[in-house]
Amino acid sequence: MTDYQSIYLALSAILFAIGVLGVIVRKDAIVVFLCIEIMLGAVNLAFVTFARANQSAEGLFMVMCIMAVAGAEAAVGLAIFVLLYRKTGTINIDKFNLLKY
Amino acid sequence: MFDLVWLIPSFPLAGVLINGLLGRTIEERNKSLVHWIACGAVGLSFLVTLGIFLQLLELPAEKRLYDFTWFTWISAGEFSASIGYLIDPLSMFYCMFVTGVGFLIHVYSIGYMWHDEEGYYRYFAYLNLFMFSMINLVLADNFLLMFLGWEGVGVCSYLLIAYWFSDLANAVAGKKAFITNRVGDFFFAIGLLLMVTYLGEHGVWSLKFTDVFANASLMSPNLITLICLLFFLGCTAKSAQIPLYIWLPDAMAGPTPVSALIHAATMVTAGIYFVARCNILYSMSPLAMGVVAVVGALTALLAATIALTQNDIKRVLAYSTVSQLGYMFLGLGVGAFAAGIFHVLTHSFFKALLFMCSGCVIHAMSGEQDMRNMGGLRQKMPITFYTMLIGTLAIAGFPGFSGFFSKDEILWKVFSSGPGASFLWPIAILTAALTAFYMFRLIFMTFFNECRASEEVQHHIHEAPRSMTAPLVILAFLSIFGGVIGIPASLGGNNLVEHFLDPVMGLGAGKLLQSASGTSMVQGSAHAVALHSVELEHTLMIITTGIVFLGILVAYTMYMRNRSLPDTFAAKSPSTYRMLLNKWYVDELYEKTVINPLHSISVFFWKGIDVVVIDGLVNGTAAFFMKCGVVSRAAQSGYVQRYAVSFLVGVFALIAYYMYVR
């Protein structure tokens, strides 16, 4: 494993940590969503790095799938947020806790 | 003709089905069709019975046994039970008077029940169902079918006692009869199962009377005694003997024809039938025979003493029934099976007659049953008076009437039975005197002197309609002349009954079974033939007659000549009087010793075991998981970020596990 690969992996880990932190602490639904996207990006970076290191296309294929899913997810998610905003006038996720016992 | 025996129970069954299922429609269209169907069914049964009976008489005595198997009922491995009917002297003898007296009472019911508001068809459907069950009971060729009839008559008895169930007292009386019978039936069933399993273990997987009796010697004497005693407990419930007689007087809550048919003439003699049917078993157990005799004698005396002071006309008759049934068991117990059965026959005539007469009286008195409010009915209802007088003379054992011959036969057999005669015979003779006394007390209070009813009731007193008096006349005729078939040899007769029944009783039964099944038979029947001394028998007859006259004379003195005497006696010994009036406090005793403890135990099991333990267990389980839910539902907060945190914690935990533990 060469040096640049460990740099990429470190970057991936840092991005992932930022994403996790954002998901946990931020209250704005869109920001939380962005943080999820950051986590996905971090994972994609790790995949690409490993694909390069192992000289195989499997990691790249995985990345393609994740990007497709992320795109679909963004479309559905943003639509939900728009509707929520129209209904309630806010997208603070602490206001949405009705799905419980 | 013998192969038509299945018709006998089928007619009443058809009557039940027609009246039971379509009765309401039939009654709305044409009310009299209901009783035509019901009476017709029983009448046809009687005709078939008569035909078979006559054919049976033509056969020589040792060939009088025919087993008709209709179809297989239950078949399981080696064991099988069939619906089959046994034609022999005993079953046909019973069937004759069951269908005959039953038919007369069906006819009488027409007049008695005609004005009843509703459910005319229901009454006749029950009555026919009773006939069906009773015929099955007496004709069955195996224990199981007999038990079916045995239970069936119990159910019908319950249904008919509680016929006017909107009155609570009637419903309670019905329940009492049913539960008391259930106690007896429980022991009966134990006896039956004990016998069947024991015989089954020894290779006789059969419930047929013939098979069981032929193999009775396989059982040890102690086992036979036990089985006989258990059977007898069942019989005490059905035939109203100590200790389970208490239901019969209360059973008078039903319509009077029902009292006549079920609780006097037929059903209550089922116990006698059963003991007589199993005479081979009983003959092998002197102890069981002794118990039967002693219980019979004590019941006869006890019931007679209670009857002395009762004022309800039907109650007096009810206790006299208990008393007479005691006589029959006494006869059976000393080995005089034929004499007991003969008394069943004559008793069914005169007791049905007496009940039906009392029904006419109650009918005329607008439902009044208290004899203190009667009197002077002799001129107003002559047919009822004369027929009832005949019935009374018969039950009292007045010479020449049917009851005289049958009762005298029993008394003589008791006297000559050897051991036990020294105290059984005095009890029996005392009971005879008491019987004469209380029956004539009834007659004097009801039919003589001035009428003590209110003006309005007096105005309505009338003779009963033709359909009610016709059966009375027929039964009165039979009550007088029915005894002819059993005139003992010492009086110039030839005791036809005894000779007729001989093949099924005692030693004769062995021969009959041998010729029928070819198997070896029980050796040595218990009762020895007593030395027959004509002079002694005549002396006893004179004593009996004298005692009966004495009873009548005392009744005449107390209730005709000097009518303040009863009150004087009652005032002189109030404790004795109250004791008798309250029926020796037996009901109260049972209440205290059996019903109340049972009630307490039930309450304990209800409130202690059921509510606390069982319900507690079930509800506790539910409550426990409810609590768990309340606690753990805090985890489901609805906040997405909390889920994310727990997710993260989980991931860290897994990573830590794989890094450090594995």
User: Where on the phi/psi map is residue B220: left (φ > 0), alpha (ψ -120 to 50), or beta?
Assistant: beta
Tokens matching residue A36: 């999820």
Q: Which of B245, B243, B301, B232 is nearest to B271 (CA)?
A: B232
Give the residue among B415, B402, B236, B422 at the shortest CA–CA distance from B325: B236
What is the average per-residue pLDDT within B537-555? Answer: 88
Nearest to B275 by CA among B218, B397, B191, B197: B191
Closest B-chain CA to A22: B641
Indicate the residue type of B644. Answer: A
Type of residue numbered B629 = G
pLDDT in tens, B610-645: 999 999 999 999 999 999 999 998 888 888 888 999
Query: How many other CB atoms sit within 10 Å of the CB of residue B620?
Result: 10
Chain B residues close to A23, C-beta within 8 Å: 641, 644
Chain B residues 615-654 with a CB less than 8 Å from chain A: 633, 636-641, 644-645, 648
| B525, pLDDT greater than 50 | no
Neighbour count for residue A18 (Cβ, 10 Å):
14
Q: Where is pLDDT greater, at B457 or B531?
A: B457
C-alpha dihedral (B256, B262, B264, B269), degrees to nearest 10: 180
Give the per-residue pLDDT at B509. Answer: 52
Strand partners of residue B308:
none
Q: Residue A39 and residue B71: Cα distance in Å, rounded?
A: 85
pLDDT tens sequence across B153-189: 999 999 999 998 888 989 999 999 999 999 999 999 9
Separation in Å, CA of B635 to nearest CA in chain A: 9
Which stretch of DSSP H or E encloses residue B619? Answer: helix B615-632
User: Residue B463 gets which letter from DSSP?
Assistant: P
With an 8 Å Cβ cutoff, is A94 touching chain B? yes
Q: Residue range B385-414: average pLDDT?
A: 89
Which domain CATH number covers A8? Answer: 1.10.287.3510
Over residues B570-588, the mean pLDDT reads 82
**How many Å apart are CA B288 and CA B298, to the nearest integer?**
15
CB-CB neighbors (< 8 A) of A32 in chain B: 640-641
Q: Tell me, yes or no, whether A95 lies in a domain.
A: no
Between B507 and B124, where is the model more confident? B124
The residues with which B74 forms a beta bridge, in sequence order, are B81
Which residue has better confidence, B163 or B78? B163
pLDDT tens profile A12-57: 999 999 999 999 999 999 999 999 999 999 999 999 999 988 888 9
pTM score: 0.80
Model pLDDT, residue B452: 82
Q: Looking at the complex, does the CB of residue A20 fall below 8 Å from at least one CB of chain B? A: yes
Q: Within 10 A of B42 (CB to CB), how many other CB atoms are there?
A: 27
Interface test with A, best of B640, B642, B648, B649 (most A CBs within 10 A): B640
d(CA B297, CA B22): 47
CB B479 within 8 A of CB B356: no
pLDDT score recorded for residue A1: 54
- Residue B530 has phi, psi (to 5 degrees) of -75, 155
Q: What is the mean pLDDT of chain B?
A: 86
Backbone torsions φ then ψ of B114, nearest 5 degrees? -55, -40
Across the interface, of A24, A94, A101, the residue whose CB is closest to B633 is A101
- Asked whether residue B517 carries a pLDDT value surpassing 50, the answer given is no
* B629: closest CA of chain A, how far (Å): 10
Cβ atoms of B464 and B384 within 8 Å: the answer is yes
A98 touches chain B (CB under 8 A): yes
**Cβ–Cβ of A23/B637 closer than 8 Å?**
no
Q: What is the 3 state secondary structure string of B373-414?
A: HCCCCCCCCHHHHHHHHHHHHHHHCCCCCHHHHHHHHHHHHH
Alpha carbon of A36: minimum distance to chain B alpha carbons (Å): 11
SS3 B84: strand
Residue in this structure with the two tokens 């690409």, named with its chain if needed: A48
Contact A96 B638 (CB under 8 A): yes
Boundaries of domain holding A45? 3-89
8 Å CB contact of A93 and B641: yes
Is residue A96, in this structure, part of any structural domain at all? no
- Rounded to the nearest angstrom, the minimum Cα separation between B640 and chain A is 8
Is the pLDDT at B197 greater than 50, yes or no? yes
Give the residue from B328, B289, B236 showing the smallest Cα distance to B506. B289
Q: What's the longest Cα–Cα distance across chain A?
A: 53
- Mean pLDDT for B310-337 is 90
Question: Nearest-CA residue of chain B relative to A21?
Answer: B645
Model confidence pLDDT, tens digit, residues B259-293 = 888 888 888 989 999 999 998 888 888 889 889 99
Q: Mean pLDDT, to the nearest integer, of B242-248?
A: 88
Sign of the Cα pseudo-torsion (B382, B385, B388, B392, in order) = negative
Residues B78-97 have a mean pLDDT of 88
Give me the residues paired with residue B71 across strands: B83
Which neighbouring-strand residues pair with B75? B80
B393 or B571: which leads in pLDDT: B393
Asked if residue A34 belongs to a domain, the reply is yes
Rounded CA separation B328/B313 (Å): 23
Can you tell me whether residue B75 is helix, strand or coil?
A: strand
Is residue B528 over pLDDT 50?
A: no
Alpha-carbon gap, residue B2 to B207, rounded angstroms: 22
Are B492 and B135 in contact by the 8 Å Cβ rule? The answer is no
Tens digit of pLDDT for each residue in B589-610?
888 888 899 999 999 999 989 9
Q: A72 in a domain, yes or no?
A: yes
Residues of A whose CB is below 8 A from B645 = 24
Q: For residue B641, give the nearest of A24, A98, A99 by CB distance.
A: A24
Q: Beta strands of B553-617 (E only): which ranges?
A: none
Min distance A51 CA to chain B CA atoms (Å): 23
Q: Compute the average pLDDT of residues B26-51.
A: 91
- Residue A18 is assigned to a structural domain of this protein: yes
Q: Which band of pLDDT confidence, cut at 50, 70 and 90, is reported for residue A2?
A: low
| Residues B44/B13, Cβ–Cβ less than 8 Å | no
Question: What is the number of domains present in chain A?
Answer: 1
Q: A70 vs chain B: nearest CA distance in angstroms?
A: 18
> How many CB pairs below 8 Å do chains A and B form together?
27
pLDDT exceeds cutoff 50 at B516:
no
Is the Cα torsion angle B577, B582, B584, B585 positive or negative in sign? negative
